[in-house]
Structure 1
Amino acid sequence: MTPDRDDELGAALRSLDVPEHGPDFMASLVARLEEGQVLRPPRWQRPLLLTTAAAAVALVVFAASSLLPERSPTFVRPRVSSAAELRATVSKALATAETVHGQLTLECSVSFGPCAPPPGATTTLRWAVTATADGSERVTALDGLDDTSYDATTAVGREIATRDRVRPQAAEYVNVPPGAPDFSTRSPLRRQFGSLVRAFLDAGGDAPVHAGTAAGRKVWRLSVPVEPNKLAGPGGSGDHIDVVVDQQTGFPVEVKESLAGRALVTATLTELVVDAPVVDGAFSLTFPAGARPFHQDFGFQRTTLADLPAIVGYTPLVPRSLPGGFRLVQITAARTAQPTGAEGMNPPGRGVVSLGFRRGFDAIVVTTRLTGPDPAAWEDPVATGEGFRDARRPLSIGAGALAGGSAEIVITPRGVPHVWAVSPRLVVTIAGDATAAELQRAIESMG
């Protein structure tokens, strides 16, 4: 198709008088689909749903840089010589900030989301960012071509996008779950961004850290090899991710993905202000006059632990052990939910509970959903994406309600650290800002 034809088709589709999806839409759709046999195509024939490493790059730099403690001039510079020590330095600061304002700059020589450079060229995009510790965020393109908001107090996300002809020009998502593996609002940052810097530094193991300078400031540099995405095409995915950490503050200020030494995506966050007030209405995005927003209700209603069994039909499992400081701030449930997994090929979710725990800007999401008749039908709900090969560590669960079962712990530079398990009754995921040891303790404390 030509761009003009794309525009004409998009305009025609948006002009249609289409009813909004209600909260029972997925349940009705699943029921109709199950009237016939569901045929799964071979893996190589499945739809190509690439999640490029560039996305992780943008997320990591905000996760790390957004907390630059300008409020802490007496920061004591730690001695750092390995990725493990650097991880501890970064992790120590992530749980304290309440608000963050800054500017995210993304330079890319490969296509990634709204960044689509011409062959042989580089595209630079910039967004103004405001985020709060409850998970709310506003990400506004400085060129005015897109604007995204998420209000954690109402679980409502809105976006306006004129850069991308494929997406609706305006969209609203309500009853949004706390996070992975279920749908989360689209933005250059997304939520749970702290998880990705944890994953990157965890995966770095004992890789050496080198001292240097950048923009006149003393920094630490860490480079970790990664496996390119097999489906991204030649030159489309990197073999290294580099993090530059400011020594004075202890936080990363640049993240770069490269292939054979050539930068593919570089992300930086500048003009940072920490714990400044957020203006009223910062997370309320107003649609332009004449817009016909696409509307979708994901059906994750806010509720209480006591009321969950009446909604999902079972008593959900809750972790008794999480890293210190995490509080349960979101309790949501959906009778049905969209399929999960790298290719969206898991069975549709039934009786889904999603619990959001937060500690400052850190987040952990715990989910349970009914397994259904075939436990073997399930693949990792939180997998990084098609084309990526996640490193998995098998785990025999030694305690808790899932004792005797098997699980997998996944720590990868491009994904969210998580553990998941399938029991005869429930599929369980724990994903977010935690180490492998903390994830193991969490799943062995489910009850």
Structure 2
Amino acid sequence: MRFINSSVTVLRDFAICHDDFTLKPPDGILKEHTFTWLGFVQYIHVTTGLPHHSKAPRVVLIQKQFVIGTATDLLHLPKNYKLGSVIFGDYERDEKNCGISKQQTKIGIQCPRAYIEMPLLDITPHPEFSRFGVGNSLALVKLIRPMKSYYMIPICLPSITERQRQKKNKIVFMVDYISTVPRDFDSEKMGKKTLKLYTHKDCKRHRMKTRLGSEGVTHVLCSSGCGVRPGAPIVSQTVDGAFELIGIAAGGGVCSRRSMRRRLNREPPLYIDVYPYSAWIVNVVTAHQLPQPYPHNFMLLEGGSSVSIQKGSNYLRRRRAQKSGWRARTFVTGNHCFKSQKKQRSASFFYSENFEVNADPPAKLNVVIKISAGIECTIVCARLLMPNRMATPVIDGVGGYNITIVFYTEWFPYKFYFSVGLSGKNTTERDKMDWIPERKEGFW
């Protein structure tokens, strides 16, 4: 019997993004390490070397080595100023990065607050800005090196599913630094504000009614609120927990009395709609990834690295071994977890539960969790959110209807928490008939 093997790989960078299904912060000042993907760019005076006193455009991390912002703010600089480094004021280091051992994590020591200044390597504006003179557009900035910390996860790119949902709900939230120009990075705070979103059609109608003229952008959104700073993102959270970048602020009128109520102001904040630029973003980022030498049977396809077997053979069992890996503090198991965000949404996020254990004095913990979804549901992706990556869990059964989660913790200081999230699909008729004889008492 002859088998045809081929190596298959994929650029998984855009499938690994901020998708914390337990994170739902209220409006107001945020705790540290909530949205680490937000940064800003400094304008540096060419003579004095001091930062600009009133301008610091925001940028958003969309890949480990790329940030996105408004092309006008990144290329049309104030007089006598040059572009400085990109600064992430809420840089979250992992245990290896800040030199914390397992023994120190047992007594509750965590990495101290940090920030990082990352020099720029290249700026790529969208062709509509560089060639056709569109007033406001987007630009991608390549950093001098990728982010090394496991916990610096970029934000997800927008999807058509979430855009359709926002046309009905019209609720997004904005994340920004409290200060116009952050200076004291050790104490700088971020804030969150829920806004009402308006589509391009509503925004254009409002601007014509108030005689404000053209929006100056090709893909524009409006929102309630005021005083929005350039580059500040508006974000939406999907049902399964992913945070998607809906728009990037191009500017807005200053705040006046009662202007924060939930309706359009006379001069509402304008945002560049990110979704129409998604294909361009992916193309630019992948073009900067230098490929390694590979044989002729090496293919760039979607689905992750694997070895395929010729169809029709009985070499593999129908329940194949599932891939596992870390995304920040989330351990995921299942081939479906490593597909693109678009394909991941073909499954339903049907289960989420938080667990917390309190102990005094400190204790060790052995966790064994068995979950059955019933033979009508096939579990395709399991996510386990942990406090850190010191313990390596094992999740068995993904691809079927019963899963078992097993992990062991070292001594922990008084409190230990973790969360479980599952995504599934309807079981096929063939699998269902095979699984009926396997059922045991208490598992349906």
- Name the TM-score class by shorter chain: under 0.3
TM-score, normalised with respect to structure 2? 0.26
TM-score, normalised with respect to structure 1? 0.26
